[in-house]
């Protein structure tokens, strides 16, 4: 087991600290009474967690695909269960994303959340532990515990602090993701029965029969596709986003959706490589549908939050598209797209929260003509909208470019279709921007409000809001102009992953059964080329 | 040719951006704000000028800022083609910034700070496009121009402004996402890099055994992707974007925006694809015929327009295609003719727009039919207008003549009588829509309401802010015809290599 790991050499167990800190914070929060104390306590705990996570960035060894900062303790000897955690190039960035986004979640709730601050802080902190746990678990049981552990705090967050239809949205969220989890549990148990281990790297190295791989792949993929969410499993997302409080939306968009992509990369691809190759055409088609349907639905929304929620479906489509291209550019692009979506869409939800606190409406029409009153807000809105539509020089452009490059290299037809999603992204974001900043519908303020009343209500961003947005702006340009450090971190792990797929794909029956679909895609490519 | 690595060229792109910031913070003090604009413009021009001797010496300046992915970087590279465009655009910005003061204050326009900020950043992005060292950088600045000119087009914020601006952004964003982005990726897949080949205009950047079908696809995607060039059928945004205030139309839609489009097409043809591969695949001649259609059709449409700005807009569509036509013919003479037209058209067209705006501010007239007798009341303006239109028609010795001379030589080199005919017919059409305006102004009868008014309209101080720049540009449009060597020598550096 140790061959897969590089045990933690820092002078403290960094990953365990990251897991325990928020829990301890939550326990202390139980004894705090004043609302202000709770707010600051939540902020301090998340900030300390973020600080503690920074050595993951500075001390990361890019030359190896092994799991680093690893910790191994015996836990449940009867079942051969170990408490084993570690990160590699695929998960480390997601852990950092989580720890860096969480302080923003507390900050953006500062005045948005009006009731039950104690519960709010406890839920938020438990959520943080669960999310970090998912990314660092090296053991399927541990993974599953954290995976399920996220569900309850998120459910509570929507159900307690949500909007008008919170009951519907929270139940829908719970049922959808829980259904997915059950399939995942089945796959985990099936793999344990076959191999006798829960340790993820060993599960990856085991060669399963093709039929077994197909079932494992399907069981896992349904769980991850729901989480992602991929068409046709996406319908819970707009409901959850619209009803969730601002921090719930930020957590959902920035981190929760990434679990699906992470799951594909951690489970489906390395554990069932032959099945992956077999299902590539299906998943590429589903990704394309997600990209186009997400963009198309976003185009028709009048609710800002719904619009961004549907845009997430489209963006996540690019992630799965990149993953199932199974080449270097595609997977790196998908990884980067996950981070970028976390930054950009997180910021957009914070922006929506800011305006909702002022106008108490999420309708575009009620939030129009902001340019006159809130220049700073509008500048940030413009910036993150451009980032969302993959404007060159911003973060999303790099990931979209990589995914498209990977696609053109392999299946030009797929790439050509996905361009449609890029066009739609520009269309709905510019439409939103135009309507919110200027609005051409008519010359009057919404609902006949007079200018003075509006001016009183629409106060520009305060320092707290400015800091959150400025912090994320740094990442927009940093990743947009200098993504090399991030790509370098992924490099060894992605290479290792591609090697695993390659090695596992030699199953004879898979090649035979899979070839039909591949030939179809490749033929489509040559057919289009012959047209010219 | 040596490539000198220096971060100095960054200055030219940064000055306009910093100007934008300074304008923004001094929004409450109009005089200070407007001085920043002019100062920024002058400094930008001086910075370009300071690089001119190096470029004339046959060297190039280069600076890589960020590497995104191997072969994809934000990289600036100043070569003769870039320096021509940068010189023209930055010089005209100085005059335009003076003209803006007169126009915007003369009409008491709203949101002037936003206007000047966007104006400066747009020019800065155009500088970036001129200096771009690879396709990604070009694309980056091309898009920045689109975004920052959008508020300028909808400046009036009325129904017409919104409609025009919407059309503008839809055309530009759609084409760049739908065509340019895939084109860039195909180029990257085929060549493994996006860097321009700035040493030679013949070789391009593709390996010798490249798949010609894919190259043709990439080329066509580029041609339609740069919709700012106004090549039909993607020209429709241009006339509608003329709802913008006239200084915007003048600088941005005669010089910066459309020229960024045309410049990008020329750049891609010469530095990405190279003339060899365009000739081998037959794309050069195909493009030439294709843009000939635009040249003729746009001129015919211009004839039918009675609104002066609309007529100028269609004239722009037509004239821009001369530039592409010249490069597409792929002979040294024709390329010279095409590229020199970037400068010639800029000086002449900005004069025409400045004049149109000046007439509007001074007399409130937009329609050509109302302009009878105006020559007597606005002599300087109308003389400059007359000179610039001679340039557009191509009468010696005005700038446009040089263009048409080289273009005609190109058609003769190719023995292509069809293209020569296109040139001649289009010149007649040019004369057809410009001469009546001038004749009307000097010899036409004034409207009954204006009968008997003889006082000069050019005397007011604010109007002088507009008249002086347009007289200068009018004079320059003649001078670039009499002394064309500055630009011709620069182009020679490229064509001969």
Query: For residue range A292-349, what is the model confidence (pLDDT) as tens digits?
Result: 999 999 998 888 999 999 999 999 999 999 999 998 999 999 999 999 999 999 999 9
Is A232 touching B (CB cutoff 8 A)?
Answer: no
Cα distance from A495 to chain B (closest Cα, Å)?
A: 17
How far apart (Å, rounded) are the C-alpha atoms in residues B249 and B256? 10
Q: Give contacts of A416 with chain B, Cβ < 8 Å.
A: 182
Cα distance from A408 to chain B (closest Cα, Å)?
A: 7
- Could you tell me how many CB contacts below 8 A there are between chain A and chain B? 75
Is A79 touching B (CB cutoff 8 A)?
Answer: no
Neighbours of A17 (CB within 10 A): 15
- Closest CB to A422 among B68, B162, B181: B181
- Which of B390, B391, B367, B376 lies closest to B456 in space, CA to CA? B376
Q: Given a cut of 80, is residue A442 above it in pLDDT?
A: no
H-helix or E-strand containing A81?
strand A81-87
Q: Give contacts of B69 with chain A, Cβ < 8 Å.
A: 398, 401-402, 483-484, 487
Q: Which long-range contacts (CB under 8 A, 24 or more apart) does A58-66 make?
A: A59/A10, A60/A89, A60/A92, A60/A489, A61/A6, A62/A89, A62/A488, A62/A489, A62/A491, A62/A492, A63/A492, A64/A6, A64/A492, A65/A89, A65/A492, A65/A493, A65/A495, A65/A496, A65/A497, A66/A4, A66/A5, A66/A6
| Per-residue exposure over A21-31, b if at least 16 CB sit within 10 Å of its own CB, e if not | bbbebbeebee
Task: Identify the pLDDT of residue A333.
Answer: 93
Strand order, beta sheet including B3-5: B3-5, B60-69, B72-78
Confidence category of residue A396, pLDDT binned at 50, 70, 90: very high
How far apart (Å, rounded) are the C-alpha atoms in residues A524 and A417? 12
Task: Identify the pLDDT of residue A436.
Answer: 85
Q: Give contacts of A426 with chain B, Cβ < 8 Å.
A: 173-174, 177
Residues of chain B with a CB closer than 8 angstroms to some CB in chain A: 65-69, 72, 74, 136, 139-140, 143-144, 147, 154, 157, 159, 162-163, 166, 169-170, 173-174, 177-178, 181-182, 185-186, 188-189, 213-214, 216-217
- Tokens standing for residue A225: 């596709």
Measure the CA dihedral B424/B429/B434/B437, to 10°: 150
Task: Identify the pLDDT of residue B76.
Answer: 92
Task: Identify the pLDDT of residue A532.
Answer: 46
SS (H, E, C) A13-65: CHHHHHHHHHHHHHHHHCCCCCHHHHHHHHHHHHHHHHHHHCHHHHCCCCCCC
How far apart (Å, rounded) are the C-alpha atoms in residues B221 and A268? 37
Q: Give contacts of B185 with chain A, Cβ < 8 Å.
A: 401, 404-405, 408, 415
Distances (CA, A) of B460 to A298, B351, B456: 53, 19, 9
Cα distance from A419 to chain B (closest Cα, Å)?
A: 6
Task: Identify the pLDDT of residue A419.
Answer: 92
Distances (CA, A) of A344 to A30, A315, A495, B222: 33, 11, 27, 29
Sign of the torsion angle spanned by Cα atoms B207, B211, B215, B221: negative
Q: Do B182 and A430 touch (CB under 8 A)?
A: no
Q: Do B69 and A398 touch (CB under 8 A)?
A: yes
Residue A362, C-beta contacts closer than 8 angstroms, at least 6 positions apart: A242, A303, A304, A305, A306, A352, A356
Distances (CA, A) of B21 to A293, A371, B17: 40, 18, 7
Over residues A426-435, mean pLDDT = 89
Q: Do A392 and B154 touch (CB under 8 A)?
A: no
H-helix or E-strand containing B268?
none
Query: Going along B6-105, which residue ranges are E strands?
Result: 60-69, 72-78
Q: Is the peptide bond before B233 cis (omega within 30 degrees of 0)?
A: yes
- Which of A245, A227, A384 lies closest to A319 in space, CA to CA? A227
- Tokens standing for residue B486: 């500055």
Q: Give contacts of A430 with chain B, Cβ < 8 Å.
A: 169, 173
From chain A residues 243-272, the ones with a CB under 8 A of any chain B CB are: none
Q: Is A233 helix (H, G, I), strand (E, B) or coil?
A: coil
DSSP state at residue A444: S
H-helix or E-strand containing B251?
none
Task: Identify the pLDDT of residue A262.
Answer: 93
Q: Given a cut of 50, is residue A443 above it in pLDDT?
A: no
**ipTM of the prediction:** 0.88
Task: Identify the pLDDT of residue B99.
Answer: 84
Q: Do A393 and B67 touch (CB under 8 A)?
A: no
H-helix or E-strand containing A454?
helix A451-457
How far apart (Å, rounded) are the C-alpha atoms in residues B393 and B385? 12
Is A318 touching B (CB cutoff 8 A)?
Answer: no
From chain A residues 513-532, the ones with a CB under 8 A of any chain B CB are: 529, 532
- Which of B271, B263, B450 lies closest to B375 in space, CA to CA? B450
Cα distance from A386 to chain B (closest Cα, Å)?
A: 9
User: B5: left (phi > 0), else alpha (psi -120 to 50), else beta?
Assistant: beta
| A241 or B102, higher pLDDT | A241
Interface test with B, best of A393, A420, A425, A479 (most B CBs within 10 A): A393
Over residues A217-237, mean pLDDT = 88
Q: Do B181 and A438 touch (CB under 8 A)?
A: no
Task: Identify the pLDDT of residue A508.
Answer: 47
H-helix or E-strand containing A87?
strand A81-87
Report, in angstroms and rounded to the nearest whole number, the Rg of chain A calculated over CA atoms.
Answer: 23
Q: Which ranges of A252-365 does DSSP label H, i.e. alpha helix?
A: 257-263, 269-271, 273-299, 304-323, 328-359
Q: Give contacts of A419 with chain B, Cβ < 8 Å.
A: 177-178, 181-182
- For the stretch B300-314, pLDDT in tens is 999 998 888 889 889
Measure the CA dihedral B292/B297/B300/B306, to 10°: -120
Measured N-to-C along each axis, helices B10-25 and B80-106 cross at an angle, to the nearest 10 degrees, of 10
Confidence category of residue A462, pLDDT binned at 50, 70, 90: confident
Contact, A223 vs A181, CB < 8 A?
A: yes
Count Cα atoms within 13 angstroms, Cβ side, for B302.
30
How far apart (Å, rounded) are the C-alpha atoms in residues A240 and A225? 16
β partners of residue B66: B74
Closest chain A residue to the Cα of B138, Cα to Cα: A392
Q: Given a cut of 60, is residue A519 above it in pLDDT?
A: no
Task: Identify the pLDDT of residue A198.
Answer: 86
> How do the domains of chain A map onto residue ranges?
2-525
| Per-residue exposure over A233-266, b if at least 16 CB sit within 10 Å of its own CB, e if not | bbebbbbbbbbbbbbbbbbbbbbbbbbbbbbbbb
Contact, B265 vs B225, CB < 8 A?
A: no
Task: Identify the pLDDT of residue B448.
Answer: 77
Q: Given a cut of 80, is residue A450 above it in pLDDT?
A: no
Q: Given a cut of 70, is residue A377 above it in pLDDT?
A: yes
Tens digit of pLDDT at every position of chain B (497 positions): 788 888 888 899 999 999 999 988 887 888 888 888 899 999 999 999 999 999 888 888 888 888 888 888 899 999 899 999 999 999 999 988 888 888 888 777 777 888 888 989 999 999 999 999 999 999 999 999 999 998 888 888 788 888 888 888 999 999 999 999 999 999 999 998 999 988 888 888 998 888 889 999 999 999 999 988 888 888 888 888 888 888 888 877 778 889 999 999 999 999 999 899 999 998 999 999 999 999 999 999 999 988 888 898 899 999 999 999 999 999 999 999 999 999 999 999 999 988 888 888 888 888 888 888 888 888 888 999 999 998 888 888 888 888 899 999 999 998 989 999 999 999 999 999 899 888 888 888 887 777 777 777 777 777 888 888 889 999 988 888 888 888 888 888 888 76
Helix, strand, coil abundance in chain B, percent, nearest 5: 75, 5, 20
Q: Do A426 and B174 touch (CB under 8 A)?
A: yes
Q: Do B67 and A484 touch (CB under 8 A)?
A: yes
Task: Identify the pLDDT of residue B3.
Answer: 85
Q: Is B135 helix (H, G, I), strand (E, B) or coil?
A: helix
Q: Do A415 and B217 touch (CB under 8 A)?
A: no
Task: Identify the pLDDT of residue A112.
Answer: 84
DSSP state at residue B63: E
Picking from A194-203, A464-473, B104-113, B220-229, which range would have the lowest pLDDT averaged per residue?
B104-113
- Tokens standing for residue A308: 């961004």
From chain A residues 416-445, the ones with a CB under 8 A of any chain B CB are: 416, 419, 422-423, 426-427, 430, 434, 438, 440
- Which of B489, B479, B491, B380 lies closest to B91 in space, CA to CA? B479
H-helix or E-strand containing A85?
strand A81-87
Neighbours of B460 (CB within 10 A): 15
Burial category of B256 from C-beta neighbours within 10 Å (exposed 0-12, middle 13-18, buried 19 and up) = buried
Is A31 touching B (CB cutoff 8 A)?
Answer: no
Count Cα atoms within 13 angstroms, Cβ side, for A203.
27
- Give one DSSP letter per residue of B409-428, joined into a string: HHHHHHT-HHHHHHHHHHHH
Task: Identify the pLDDT of residue A518.
Answer: 54
- Tokens standing for residue B337: 């003719």
Report, in angstroms and rounded to the nearest whole number, the Rg of chain B calculated over CA atoms.
Answer: 21
How far apart (Å, rounded) are the C-alpha atoms in residues A408 and B188? 10
- For the stretch A17-57, pLDDT in tens is 999 999 999 999 999 888 889 999 999 999 999 999 999 99
Strand order, beta sheet including A81-87: A5-7, A67-76, A81-87
């Amino acid at each position: 087991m140790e061959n897969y790991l590089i045990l933690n050499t820092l002078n403290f167990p960094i990953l365990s600290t990251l897991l325990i800190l928020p829990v301890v914070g939550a326990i202390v929060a139980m004894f705090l009474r004043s609302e202000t104390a709770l707010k600051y306590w939540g902020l301090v705990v998340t900030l300390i967690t973020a600080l503690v996570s920074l050595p993951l960035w500075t001390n990361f060894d890019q030359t190896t695909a092994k799991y680093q900062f690893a910790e191994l303790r015996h836990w449940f000897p009867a079942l051969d269960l170990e408490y084993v955690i570690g990160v590699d190039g695929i998960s480390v960035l997601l852990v950092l994303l989580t720890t860096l986004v969480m302080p923003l979640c507390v900050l953006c709730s500062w005045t948005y959340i009006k009731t039950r601050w104690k519960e709010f802080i406890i839920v938020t902190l438990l959520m943080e532990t669960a999310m970090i746990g998912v990314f660092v678990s090296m053991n399927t049981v541990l993974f599953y515990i954290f995976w399920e552990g996220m569900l309850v705090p998120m459910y509570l967050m929507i159900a307690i602090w949500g909007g008008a239809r919170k009951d519907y949205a929270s139940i829908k969220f719970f049922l959808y993701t829980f259904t997915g989890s059950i399939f995942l549990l089945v796959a985990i148990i099936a793999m344990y029965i076959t191999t006798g281990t829960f340790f993820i790297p060993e599960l990856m190295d085991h060669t399963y029969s093709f039929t077994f791989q197909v079932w494992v792949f399907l069981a896992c993929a349904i769980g991850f596709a729901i989480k992602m969410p991929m068409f046709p499993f996406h319908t819970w997302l707009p409901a959850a986003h619209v009803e969730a409080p601002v921090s719930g939306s930020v957590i959902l968009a920035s981190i929760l959706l990434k679990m699906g992509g992470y799951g594909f990369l951690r489970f489906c691809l390395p554990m069932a490589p032959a099945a992956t190759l077999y299902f590539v055409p299906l998943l590429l088609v589903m990704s394309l549908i997600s990209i186009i349907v997400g963009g198309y639905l976003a185009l028709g929304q009048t609710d800002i939050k719904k619009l961004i929620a549907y845009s997430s479906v489209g963006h996540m489509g690019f992630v799965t598209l990149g993953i199932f291209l199974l080449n270097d550019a595609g997977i790196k692009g998908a990884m980067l797209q996950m981070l970028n979506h976390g930054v950009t869409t997180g910021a957009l939800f914070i922006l929506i929260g800011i305006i909702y606190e002022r106008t108490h409406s999420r309708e575009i029409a009620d939030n129009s003509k902001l340019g006159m009153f809130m220049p700073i807000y509008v500048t940030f809105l413009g910036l993150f909208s451009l980032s969302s539509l993959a404007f060159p020089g911003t973060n999303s452009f790099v990931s979209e470019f990589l995914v498209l490059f990977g696609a053109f290299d392999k299946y030009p037809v797929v790439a050509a279709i996905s361009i449609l999603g890029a066009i739609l992204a520009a269309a709905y974001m510019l439409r939103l921007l135009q309507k919110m900043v200027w609005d051409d519908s008519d010359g009057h303020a919404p609902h006949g409000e007079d200018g003075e009343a509006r001016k009183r209500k629409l106060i520009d961003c305060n320092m707290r809001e400015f800091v959150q947005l400025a912090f994320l702006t740094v990442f927009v340009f940093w990743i947009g102009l200098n993504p090399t450090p991030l790509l370098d971190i992924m490099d060894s792990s992605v290479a290792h992953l591609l090697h695993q797929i390659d090695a596992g794909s030699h199953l004879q029956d898979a090649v035979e059964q899979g070839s039909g679909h591949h030939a179809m895609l490749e033929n489509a490519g040559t057919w289009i080329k012959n047209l010219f | 040719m040596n490539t000198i690595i220096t971060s100095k060229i960054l200055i030219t792109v940064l000055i306009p951006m910093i100007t934008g910031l300074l304008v923004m913070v001094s929004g409450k003090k109009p005089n200070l704000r407007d001085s920043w604009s002019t100062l920024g413009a002058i400094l930008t021009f001086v910075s370009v000028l300071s690089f001119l001797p190096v470029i004339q010496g046959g060297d190039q300046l280069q600076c890589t800022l960020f590497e995104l992915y191997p072969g994809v970087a934000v990289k600036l590279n100043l070569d003769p083609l870039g320096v021509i465009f940068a010189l023209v655009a930055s010089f005209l910005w100085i005059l335009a910034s003076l003209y803006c003061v007169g126009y915007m204050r003369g009409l008491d326009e709203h949101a002037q700070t936003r206007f000047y900020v966007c104006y400066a950043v747009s020019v800065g992005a155009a500088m970036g496009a001129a200096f771009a060292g690879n396709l990604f950088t070009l694309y980056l600045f091309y898009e920045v121009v689109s975004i920052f000119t959008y508020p300028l087009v909808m400046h009036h914020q009325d129904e017409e402004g919104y409609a025009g601006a919407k059309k503008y952004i839809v055309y530009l964003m759609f084409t760049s996402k739908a065509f340019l982005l895939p084109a860039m990726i195909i180029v990257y897949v085929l060549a493994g890099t996006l860097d321009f080949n700035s040493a030679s205009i013949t070789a391009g950047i593709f390996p010798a055994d490249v798949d010609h079908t894919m190259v043709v696809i990439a080329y066509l995607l580029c041609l339609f992707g740069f919709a700012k060039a106004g090549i039909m059928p993607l020209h429709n945004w241009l006339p509608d974007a003329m709802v913008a205030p006239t200084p915007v139309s003048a600088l941005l839609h005669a010089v910066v925006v459309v020229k960024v489009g045309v410049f990008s097409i020329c750049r891609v043809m010469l530095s990405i694809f190279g003339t060899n591969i365009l000739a081998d695949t037959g794309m050069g001649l195909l493009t030439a015929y294709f843009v000939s259609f635009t040249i003729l059709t746009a001129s015919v449409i211009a004839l039918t327009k009675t609104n002066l700005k609309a007529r100028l807009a269609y004239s722009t569509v037509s004239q821009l295609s001369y530039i592409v036509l010249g490069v597409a013919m792929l002979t040294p003479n024709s390329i010279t003719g095409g590229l020199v037209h970037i400068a010639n058209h800029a000086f002449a067209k900005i004069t025409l727009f400045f004049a149109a705006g000046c007439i509007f501010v001074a007399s409130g007239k937009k329609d050509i039919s109302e302009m009878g007798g105006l020559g007597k009341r606005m002599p300087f303006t109308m003389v400059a207008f007359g000179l610039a239109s001679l340039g557009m028609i191509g009468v010696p010795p005005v700038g446009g003549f040089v263009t048409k001379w080289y273009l005609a030589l190109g058609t003769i080199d190719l023995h292509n009588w069809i293209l020569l005919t296109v040139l001649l017919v289009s010149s007649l059409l040019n004369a057809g829509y410009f001469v009546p305006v001038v004749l009307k102004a000097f010899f036409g009868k004034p409207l009954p309401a204006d009968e008997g008014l003889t006082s000069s309209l050019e005397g007011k101080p604010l109007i002088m802010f507009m008249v002086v720049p347009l007289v200068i540009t009018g004079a320059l449009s003649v001078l670039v015809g009499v002394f064309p060597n500055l630009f011709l020598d620069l182009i020679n550096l490229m064509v001969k290599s």
